[in-house]
Amino acid sequence: MTEWGFAQLLSHDILNESSNGYLVDDTCVFGVEVFVIKGTCRGENLSMVNQPQPNYFTWRIDDYSALKDEVYLSEQFIVEGRRWLQPLSLYFEYGKLRLEPEGGGAGANKYLSIYLCLDDDLESLPPNRKLYSKYKVRIRNQINNNHLEKTAEYWFSDSVTYGFPKFLSKIDLQDTSQDYLIDDGLFIEYKIDVKSVVKDFSSN
């Protein structure tokens, strides 16, 4: 508001009554006293989108037995035709999957580890930003629909990587009856079910 006041501050009858002392010698004095109050406010702005990704992103890995590095990253995947990290309000529009064939953390040497990660060009999130994602990761059964699927939900803040250190044991991966690894090819699939961007705000 550029102006604020009282449409009915004082009636003419009261103003003109001399005994009230408002009008003396046809003179009236107006004054104002201003109080400045310093207020504080904290809150969050939450943007939530349900089912933002209708289909699975598929990462095909050929010659799996020839993988020698500790970490492999998929190509960027795109949700709803928009990139995951640009602009800032659409962080979960694209990202990458991280594969550790020999496992990491609690799954080291015994499991295949799979993680969801933000773009590797960024080391951290902008200040006052948190990103929520509920997502599915699965290894496709290449013969039938008996896929190995896991669901995770996570608030990304300081960390930009989250997932499953024990996604699939190396023994089960090599088990031919599971049909995960055929002709030395592996299919990893990913789908976002719910995503949100939360921005903390404050005013003083």
Count: domains in the chain = 1
Residue 160 lies inside a defined structural domain of this protein: yes
Residue 17 lies inside a defined structural domain of this protein: no
Residue 67 lies inside a defined structural domain of this protein: yes
pLDDT (average), residues 136-161 = 87
Instruction: Kindly report the number of other CB atoms within 10 A of residue 58's CB atom.
Output: 13
Residue 92 lies inside a defined structural domain of this protein: yes
Residue among 96, 69, 94 nearest 84 (CA): 94
Residue 115 lies inside a defined structural domain of this protein: yes
Q: Which residues contact 115 (CB under 8 A, 6 or more apart)?
A: 97, 98, 100, 161, 162, 163, 164
What is the chain written as a DSSP string? ------TTSS-HHHHH-GGGSSSBTTB-------------EEEEEEEEEES---S-EEEEE-SGGG--SS-EEPPPEEBTTB-BSSSGGGTTBEEEEEEETT--GGGTTTEEEEEEE--TT-SSPPTTEEEEEEEEEEEPPSSSS--EEEEEEEEESS--EEEEEEEEEHHHHH-GGG-SSBTTBEEEEEEEEEEEEEEEEEE-
What is 25-49 written as a DSSP string? TTB-------------EEEEEEEEE
Full residue range of the structural domain in which residue 182 is found = 44-203
Task: Check: CB of residue 166 under 8 Å from CB of residue 107.
Answer: yes
Beta partners for residue 162, in sequence order: 116
Residue 190 lies inside a defined structural domain of this protein: yes
pLDDT of residue 47: 61
Q: Among 5-14, 60-69, 181-190, whose mean pLDDT is lowest? A: 5-14
Residue 195 lies inside a defined structural domain of this protein: yes
pLDDT (average), residues 155-179 = 88
Residue 186 lies inside a defined structural domain of this protein: yes
What CA–CA distance (Å, rounded) separates 124 from 141?
35
What CA–CA distance (Å, rounded) separates 71 from 123?
17
Check which CATH number belongs to the domain holding 194 and give it: 2.60.210.10
Q: Sorting pLDDT into bands at 50, 70 and 90, what band is 61?
A: very high
The pLDDT tens digits of the residues spanning 88-143 come to 334 444 578 999 999 999 999 999 999 988 654 444 556 666 777 888 999 999 99
